[in-house]
Amino acid sequence: MTLSEVEKNGLQVFRNYSKAFDAHRAKVFAESAQTDERALPELAEILRLVASEEPRTLPVIVCAFADDQLKEMFRREIPDGVPGGRGELLSGFGPLSRLSQRVQMAYAFGWLSKDILSEVDHLRKVRNDVSHKWDMKILEEKVSHLIEHRQHKIEEYLGDGSRLPENFHESLQPIQKLRVRLIWLLGRLTYESRLWVPALKAKLAPQKVLYGPNPPAMLGRVSAACLEVTRKVIAHES
């Protein structure tokens, strides 16, 4: 298609206007997004457990917390008027009654970052092994495989030389890596489960709005909580 100079200029003006309008809407969303005050103490408590509990119990603890976060997200975001009520979907034999189903539906709807949901699902499988197998060697192998092959190596991107030592990840033991990864996974889950879907409903790109240059205030508070516990984990030899 051949455009005249006038048409090209008009198209550029339209693009510039659209970008400015979207940026303004994102700013308004971020400024109006409320921090869930109840979520922060809950996050602090689960992070304390992640930093201190015996490694084999971590998949169980983390999955229980993730299950609660997803359940509450669906309870908030599923519209009123569902036949039988929202409670029927989330309990008993409902289609969203189990963690695996909640992960699948959130993934299918694009209601959270896909990497978060994938990691929760990997943890869920390890949790199931912990619950049904007695052989400690097998369980240790499952946890080791999770650390080496299933988790995102977020610790490699955290050391900025200011808030955390540069390249601190190079001296971490495997279980320390597991703890650090779970800390930031749960921080992101807590944050996104409250704001990702509202951003979608506002017809905004959640990734850009929640992690862009002017994010909601809740991100700073969640990050501070994760940072504090991460420092404790890396200062302690596992």
Mark residue 92 as left, alpha or beta (left: phi above 0; alpha: psi -120 to 50; beta: remaining). left
CA separation for the pair 221, 37 (Å, rounded): 10
In a domain, 93, yes or no: yes
Asked whether residue 2 is assigned to any structural domain, the reply reads: no
Q: Is residue 196 helix, strand or coil?
A: helix
Q: Report yes or no on 190 lying in a domain.
A: yes
The answer to whether the CB of 108 falls within 8 A of the CB of 185 is: no
Average pLDDT over residues 206-234: 96
The H-or-E segment that residue 211 falls in is helix 206-211
The residue range of the domain holding 208 is 33-234
Residue 9 lies in a domain: no
Indicate the average pLDDT of the chain: 89
Residue 126 included in any domain: yes
Cβ-proximal residues to 34 (8 Å cutoff; 6+ apart), any chain: 218
- What's the pTM value of the predicted model, to 2 decimals? 0.89
103 confidence band (pLDDT: 50, 70, 90)? very high
| pLDDT, position 134 | 65
* CA dihedral for 202, 208, 209, 211, sign (positive or negative): positive
Span 157-189, pLDDT tens digits: 999 999 999 999 999 999 999 999 999 999 999
| Residue 94 predicted with pLDDT over 60 | yes
| Residue 167 lies inside a defined structural domain of this protein | yes
CB 231 within 8 A of CB 224: no
Strongest mean pLDDT among 4-8, 150-154, 164-168, 190-194:
190-194
What CATH number is associated with residue 130? 1.20.120
Q: How far apart are CA 39 and CA 180, in angstroms?
A: 20
pLDDT of the residue at 238: 44
Rounded Cα distance, 169 and 163, in Å: 14
Q: What is the pLDDT of residues 10-61, one digit of tens each?
A: 565 556 546 655 777 888 989 898 888 899 999 999 999 999 999 889 999 9
Residue 27 lies in a domain: no
**8 pLDDT above the threshold of 60:** no
Residue 94 lies in a domain: yes
> What is the reported pLDDT for 25?
84
Cα separations (Å) of 102 from 59, 60, 95, 120? 17, 16, 8, 11
Distances (CA, A) of 36 to 80, 146, 185, 194, 210: 22, 31, 18, 8, 15
What sign for the dihedral angle of Cα 71, 72, 75, 76?
A: negative
**Total tally of structural domains belonging to the chain:** 1
